[in-house]
Amino acid sequence: MPKDEKSQLPELLINDGQINTIAKDYYHYDSFCRKENGDINLWNLFNLFTSANKSSYIDTFLDRNANVFNLAKGLQESLNGNSSYSWFLS
């Protein structure tokens, strides 16, 4: 991706291993997994991300949790039609 475009997109601080955990838990985590039809609400998505973030070192834990909160908030704004996070949903 060109540097100009990348600088305009919201940053995601979650690493690859955490993305793998989120994807696995989307299907199998009893408390926050998807519904039977595949839908998931933003609260459960936020909890999947923060649960995966527990494996972070202490020096990045708070930054990543704040970043996940901003991601969930941005996705909510995008669903309402007014956010730069809409590229996640297209």
Q: Tell me how far CA of residue 87 lies from CA of 9, 61, 81, 82, in angstroms.
A: 8, 26, 12, 12
What tokens appear for 9 in the block?
């997109």
**62 within domain boundaries:** yes
12 pLDDT above the threshold of 80:
yes
Inter-residue contact 26 to 48 (CB < 8 Å): yes
**57 within domain boundaries:** yes
**52 within domain boundaries:** yes
The pTM of the full predicted model, rounded to 2 decimals, is 0.76
The percent of residues above 70 in pLDDT, for the chain, comes to: 91
Q: How far apart are CA 45 and CA 42, in angstroms?
A: 5
**8 within domain boundaries:** no
**65 within domain boundaries:** yes
**15 within domain boundaries:** no
Three-class DSSP category at 28: helix
Span 23-34, mean pLDDT?
88
Q: Residues 37-66: pLDDT tens digits?
A: 988 888 988 999 998 888 888 888 899 899
pLDDT given for residue 88 in this prediction: 60
